[in-house]
Amino acid sequence: MRELTSPTTVREIIKAHGFKVRKALGQNFLMDANIIDKIVRAANLSENDLAFEIGPGLGVLTRRLAQEAGRVLAVEIDQNLLPILNETLADLPNAEVIQADARKVDFDQLAAERTQGQFGPGGKAYKLVANLPYYITTPLLLHLLTSGFNLELLVVMIQKEVADRLQASPGGKDYGSLSVVVQYYTVPEIVCKVPKTVFYPVPDVDSAVIRLTRRPVPPVQLRNEETFFKVVRAAFGQRRKTLINALTGSGLASKETWLSVLNETGLDPARRGETLSLEEFAALANQFWLLREEAW
């Protein structure tokens, strides 16, 4: 197999298959072997692992994953890439491409089907390693983290500003509802920054590789997880407003109810949502849920 990190080879393969790069699908193909090595090392793969990939593109990362993991399942939405992947992965019996929209895939079910139940629900946890399409990064991460999949680790390349948001601390401009959700489920750690010049075609933004290690148990205890996420979204819904005004404006409850909740938790109504820690959001959501339960 020719070196897929060579710009010349990439252009030749694309031209030979008459493939047209679709910007709408976020198709920017990584061509830096050093970055690929960093991604794979961060996943700490072994022959006992099942690794999922989303958006394999031309198969450059897929090939490296297949060298380290026992099995690789690559989910690709663009059926026009399938002939290319059939060529670039032809010599790898442990790599399989599934044509599907990753936002709709039940990864547990797919893992169980392809491994006779060895991985997935009731089986072993698996890993996900990918250069995520930037146009669906947030919904895709939420799908992966909130669906209860038996994922133990995610190593993904995403837009740098999104990576900064995932590991942001309270009080900073990058801290938001996505930060809270990701940090509730995982421990985020930026592995490396990636310049836009290592892609073909060159995207408009720089990237970063981030490792999300799934927490065995959440860092806070919640009375109701759904209520927690509703309260978090409400607090960040209007960032320029005070906490009391943002919560009231969400329509979840009256101003009087929120004042009572804030009073019980000792939180200042004049604070802004982006200053609250995970623990403070948990206290706020738990008290809100308790008050509503008592009212019912």
As a whole number, mean pLDDT of residues 217-241 equals: 94
Sign of the dihedral through C-alpha 90, 92, 96, 101: negative
Say if residue 225 carries a ligand binding annotation. Answer: no
- Look at domain 225-295 and name its CATH class: mainly alpha
Separation of alpha carbons 147 and 131, rounded Å: 20
**156 neighbors 129 (Cβ within 8 angstroms):** yes
Say if residue 28 carries a ligand binding annotation. Answer: yes
Say if residue 224 carries a ligand binding annotation. Answer: no
- 3-class SS of residue 64: helix
As a whole number, mean pLDDT of residues 234-261 equals: 93
The pLDDT assigned to 26 comes to: 58
As a whole number, mean pLDDT of residues 215-222 equals: 96
**Residue 58 CB neighbour total at 10 angstroms:** 26
As a whole number, mean pLDDT of residues 275-293 equals: 94
Question: Cis peptide before 121, with omega less than 30 degrees from 0?
Answer: no
Q: What pTM does this model have?
A: 0.90
Task: Please list the residues that pair with 126 across neighbouring strands.
Answer: 151
Domain boundaries, the chain: 7-214, 225-295
As a whole number, mean pLDDT of residues 206-223 equals: 96
Q: How far is CA 242 from CA 126, 180, 291, 293, in A?
A: 41, 18, 21, 26
pLDDT at 2 over 70: no
Separation of alpha carbons 205 and 186, rounded Å: 25
The pLDDT assigned to 204 comes to: 78
Q: What's the pLDDT tens digit per position in 119-176? A: 999 999 999 999 998 888 999 999 999 999 999 999 999 999 999 999 999 998 999 9
Q: How far is CA 131 from CA 6, 56, 190, 218, in A?
A: 18, 8, 14, 26
Two structure tokens written together for 133: 């399409």
Average pLDDT over the chain reads 91
Domain 225-295 in the same topology as domain 7-214: no
Say if residue 44 carries a ligand binding annotation. Answer: no
> Pick from 200, 211, 205: which is nearest to 32 by CA?
200
Say if residue 264 carries a ligand binding annotation. Answer: no
Q: What's the pLDDT tens digit per position in 191-211? A: 999 998 887 777 778 999 999
As a whole number, mean pLDDT of residues 276-284 equals: 97
**Residue 60 CB neighbour total at 10 angstroms:** 21
User: Structurally, what CATH architecture does the domain formed by 7-214 represent?
Assistant: 3-Layer(aba) Sandwich (3.40)
As a whole number, mean pLDDT of residues 245-274 equals: 96
Q: What's the pLDDT tens digit per position in 20-76? A: 666 555 567 777 889 999 999 999 999 999 999 999 988 999 999 999 999 999 999
**94 neighbors 70 (Cβ within 8 angstroms):** yes
Say if residue 82 carries a ligand binding annotation. Answer: no
The pLDDT assigned to 21 comes to: 60
The pLDDT assigned to 28 comes to: 75
